[in-house]
Structure 1
Amino acid sequence: MFLMDLQERNERLFYKLMIDNVEELLPVVYTPTVGEACQKYGSIFRRSQGLYISLKDKGRVLEVLRNWPEKSIQVIVVTDGERILGLGDLGCQGMGIPVGKLALYTALGGVRPSACLPITIDVGTNNEELLNDEFYIGLRQKRATGQEYTELLDEFMVAVKQNYGQKVLVQFEDFANHNAFTLLEKYKATHLVFNDDIQSKTSQEEGLIVSSRKDSIQPFKKLYAHEHEPVKDLLSAIKRPIILALSNPTSKSECTAEQAYSWSQVGRAIFGSGSPFDPVKYNDKLFVPAQANNAYIFPGFGLGVVTSGAIRVKDDMVLAAAEALAEQVTAEHFDKGLIYPPFSSIRKISANIAARVAVKAYDLGLASHLPRPKDLVKYAESCMYSPIYRSYR
């Protein structure tokens, strides 16, 4: 609450504080604290930090968008609040996620704060506790589905493009799977959209989904099915102890770092989690758990898309961002048990990710910022918003 008040009162100071203390403040602005903030959003609500579009706005969504004071928007993070982290349906109170993510687009990726717009689509909630909560800020009705839902989202996507042009980046965030895949598939050919929860390198690699399961798995998983005899024994299915306990917030994590290191005998596991865990001392050795956090990716990805003037997002661009991150892990990091570079260098990491994303956009003929800059890393750095204070002495 203090940080959000500071952001409202003195934006430059807020981002200066964030950038200078990123490792300490990331867990406050983002997971795990943002999860608790969303759960309590109604009771801590002071003023709207984003734009709410509800079912009652159907037919005039463009008019609502035009009420937002900033006219030059480059990045929108939008949710309908149905699957907030691992906490489930939080309805309108999911606004904390777009607000927090866009703060990171600026602090970690250097996208101008005035160019960022958090949006929550309010179609109701199936969370009975919220529906009976006197402080709930959203529509008090069950979630709209089917045609009513589809028509509102259609109107929203058309209005976004009409109001901000085809180069506004729309990140779909924390939609339930049954809508997330549908929305991405529906709009990726006509809008600049992505969803960092469901686009990843798995599309190019084989996993544990075998062809014989095709009749029983969800449609979006069928793409990853491959020919292999079913493996019923978990120990036979995994060949090395890499444990990624990714569910957020910390309370929803599949196991703790301490459990991973102790259960894998003498700390053999390589561990990554969605929310941060403290270092663990085991057998007189200190293990530093990795945070497999998408905050490493989306700020730099957004910067690369914006600075290249990309008109579409392709999976290869998301993959380029992931590869750029992987290449910044040094032998020194591996020696310490880290599988990601430290967040203290995140602005440098983001500039390199932005450059790689931009390279891919230019190579695919999707970039509209011409001529192509000679040094894309330096160009990305030059475009980054920096909350600088003048020195008067």
Structure 2
Amino acid sequence: MLYLRFLRRVPTFARTYAHASNLNVAPPKPAHGLTPPKLTDDDVHAERCLRQLRSKDKAIEKYIYLSQLKLTDENMFYKLCLRYMAEFTPLIYTPTVGDACIQFSHNFRRPEGLFVSIHDKGRIGSVIRNWPRIPEARIAVVTDGSRILGLGDLGVNGMPISIGKLSLYVAGAGIRPSSTLPICLDLGTNNETFLADPLYLGHRHPRVPSPDMSAFMHEFMDEMSKAFPKMLIQFEDFSTENAFMYLDAFRERYPVFNDDIQGTGAVVLAGFLNAAKLSSAASGRPLTDHRILFLGAGSAGVGVAMQLMSFFTLQGLSEEEARSRIYLVDSQGLIYDGRGPMAEHKKYFSRTDYAGPPVKDLLDIVDLVKPTALLGLSTTKGAFSQPVLELMAALNPRPIVFPLSNPVRLSECEFHEALTYTRGAVVFASGSPFDPEAYGGRTHYPGQGNNMYVFPGIGLGAILAQAKSVTDSMVEASALGLADALTPDERADDLIYPRLERIREISAHIACAVIRAAQKAGVDRNEALRKLSDGELNEYVTGKMWNPL
């Protein structure tokens, strides 16, 4: 209701402008004299906004400025996003969004999105129906704030995650802004700092027990499907156990996917497909000979490991053979059956071929496993130390090293470290952005395993196909589409991901692959798209993308 009361206080012109910009029609001009004479030149105003942004010397101040710009001039915000994609992406999402979440209650300006609380249980439908743009809504990003990036339980301070992800859906895939719905579920928080903070915007009590949360989630999803029958729902940053549990509980009943599990898995699979080819070309070993070691066995780590099974099965290996080439490490060391009881989600990759004493040191584990690829989803800064990286280089002519934890301060290693300690041989991708580095007389380009490469295309494809569910085949199709999107120039530079500036083109390519996978799986309701040729489908997808005026 707070959001609606706010809308009623907004001047009529501002409300009309926001609505018109969402519909991609020209907003009405204000009466003569209500704006400066020279405000009508959009290119000049774009330069003005860009200068204001770049005058800020802290990333969080830039984030605040862009948040205000989006609320007051949505067209200009997205126009600049598309024009300066590489500059804007780390400001509106990772790594800056981590600080934005931590400071959300203190930097709060005005409400954006939908907040649904555990105290709304029994009347969640009425809360959801307060959203002012129900007929237009097509995609929601939903978080409960329980595991925000590598920062832990942030409660309602996790809302910028949902807001930021949807901004990337708009910028990256042309989802219409009025079709997006950011949602934060307030189920309490176990963060003592926020519970004691008088400015904290959520309910000040511990997280509710699992049975209460489960009942809440089932009511929430049921009411969402009733209010928004065409809605695709993306789960974001739920705690590990809940992430797997709710994906399994709802994925067959509703159009829903979990970006931490499936999106991360898809983008890493795409990068790994290209990285493995570079590594195998240097070593002369077949693609089936790769061995992957994961540091981190939470929802993201296990989700990526599950997705990378596809890398091996695509090479003709059986599921069991694929699983045997993947090793997981958690805070207690190498995961194997003889170690004792473990969380359910870790059991699938638990080793049965090792029965010795626990191996806890990463250097010892690398020496034991002799992996060709080392992936980090541990949020442990510096875990890929100099000795570990040097050993990876000794074992492989071109070692694959993917420190995927966000934000930068939690990354397992930085690009310059990986380059230096492998003497320039590393095939590298990270979760957060790093700058190119000069080494050995050439410029090396770091890959960024940014989920932005895949989730906008998955979302666009699922929406246009009117998918009843998001299948594993659709997620795999997004990875294969991304891996295939490199240009000859990008391959010549040894890139494993395309340049982010081409994100609209990449998203269209992925969306087409996702639509075809949905059709093959029989989960598409927009059957008219089945009749289109591949060229016609691409033209249709591109034509559906929203563009700022």
TM normalised by structure 2 equals 0.68
* Residue 202 in structure 1 maps to residue 308 in structure 2: yes
* Residue 93 in structure 1 maps to residue 157 in structure 2: yes
Tell me what 1:251 maps to: 409
In 2 relative to 1, CA 274–359 (structure 1 residues): closer, same or farther, beyond 3 Å? same
Please state whether the residue corresponding to 2:173 is helix, strand or coil: coil
Select which of 344, 359, 364 maps to 1:219: 344
Kept after mapping to 2: 8 A contact 1:52/1:120: yes
Tell me what 1:234 maps to: 366
Amino acid at match of 1:223: Y
* Residue 347 in structure 1 maps to residue 410 in structure 2: no
The offset of 1:163, in angstroms, is 0.4
Tell me what 1:288 maps to: 445
The offset of 1:41, in angstroms, is 0.4
Select which of 107, 124, 129 maps to 1:61: 124
Rounded Cα–Cα distance in structure 2 between residues aligned with 1:304 and 1:100? 20
Select which of 42, 48, 51 maps to 2:105: 42
Tell me what 1:32 maps to: 95
Rounded Cα–Cα distance in structure 1 between residues aligned with 2:336 and 2:433? 36
Tell me what 1:318 maps to: 475
Kept after mapping to 2: 8 A contact 1:99/1:118: yes
Task: Report percent identity of matched pairs.
Answer: 41
Tell me what 2:515 maps to: 358
Rounded Cα–Cα distance in structure 1 between residues aligned with 2:494 and 2:197? 45
Kept after mapping to 2: 8 A contact 1:81/1:95: yes
Please state whether the residue corresponding to 2:516 is helix, strand or coil: helix
Amino acid at match of 1:185: D
Tell me what 1:279 maps to: 436
Once structures 1 and 2 are overlaid, which stretch shifts more, 140-149 or 88-97? 140-149
Rounded Cα–Cα distance in structure 2 between residues aligned with 1:203 and 1:310? 25
Please state whether the residue corresponding to 2:528 is helix, strand or coil: coil
Please state whether the residue corresponding to 1:171 is helix, strand or coil: strand
Please state whether the residue corresponding to 2:261 is helix, strand or coil: coil
Select which of 49, 68, 71 maps to 1:8: 71
Matches within 5 A, 1:60-139: 60-71=123-134, 72-139=136-203
* Residue 142 in structure 1 maps to residue 206 in structure 2: yes
Tell me what 1:156 maps to: 220
Kept after mapping to 2: 8 A contact 1:106/1:112: yes
The offset of 1:356, in angstroms, is 0.1
* Residue 190 in structure 1 maps to residue 253 in structure 2: yes
Tell me what 2:269 maps to: none
Rounded Cα–Cα distance in structure 2 between residues aligned with 1:211 and 1:113? 47
List alignment gaps of at least 5 residues for structure 1: 389-393
The offset of 1:225, in angstroms, is 4.7
The offset of 1:133, in angstroms, is 1.4
Rounded Cα–Cα distance in structure 2 between residues aligned with 1:92 and 1:331? 44
Rounded Cα–Cα distance in structure 2 between residues aligned with 1:251 and 1:83? 16
The structure where helix makes up a greater share of residues is: 2
The offset of 1:238, in angstroms, is 1.1
Q: Whose Rg is larger? A: 2
Of structures 1 and 2, the one scoring higher in RCO (CA 8 A, sep 6+) is 1
In 2 relative to 1, CA 216–202 (structure 1 residues): closer, same or farther, beyond 3 Å? farther
Equivalences, count: 386
The offset of 1:287, in angstroms, is 1.3
The offset of 1:58, in angstroms, is 1.1
Tell me what 1:377 maps to: 538
* Residue 333 in structure 1 maps to residue 490 in structure 2: yes
Please state whether the residue corresponding to 1:272 is helix, strand or coil: strand
Rounded Cα–Cα distance in structure 2 between residues aligned with 1:107 and 1:177? 29
Tell me what 1:305 maps to: 462
CA offsets, 1:236-268, max 9 Å, x none? 43124111111111111111001111111x210
Rounded Cα–Cα distance in structure 1 between residues aligned with 2:100 and 2:494? 32
CA offsets, 1:57-105, max 9 Å, x none? 1111110110010112111100000110011111100000000000011
The offset of 1:227, in angstroms, is 5.6
Rounded Cα–Cα distance in structure 2 between residues aligned with 1:182 and 1:332? 42
Please state whether the residue corresponding to 1:198 is helix, strand or coil: helix
The offset of 1:203, in angstroms, is 4.5
* Residue 387 in structure 1 maps to residue 548 in structure 2: yes
The offset of 1:49, in angstroms, is 1.1
Rounded Cα–Cα distance in structure 2 between residues aligned with 1:254 and 1:79? 25
Amino acid at match of 1:244: F
Rounded Cα–Cα distance in structure 2 between residues aligned with 1:376 and 1:227? 47
Please state whether the residue corresponding to 1:387 is helix, strand or coil: coil
Please state whether the residue corresponding to 1:341 is helix, strand or coil: coil
The offset of 1:229, in angstroms, is 4.6
Select which of 74, 82, 85 maps to 1:22: 85
Rounded Cα–Cα distance in structure 2 between residues aligned with 1:377 and 1:351? 7
* Residue 267 in structure 1 maps to residue 424 in structure 2: yes
Rounded Cα–Cα distance in structure 1 between residues aligned with 2:97 and 2:240? 21
Once structures 1 and 2 are overlaid, which stretch shifts more, 219-228 or 168-177? 219-228
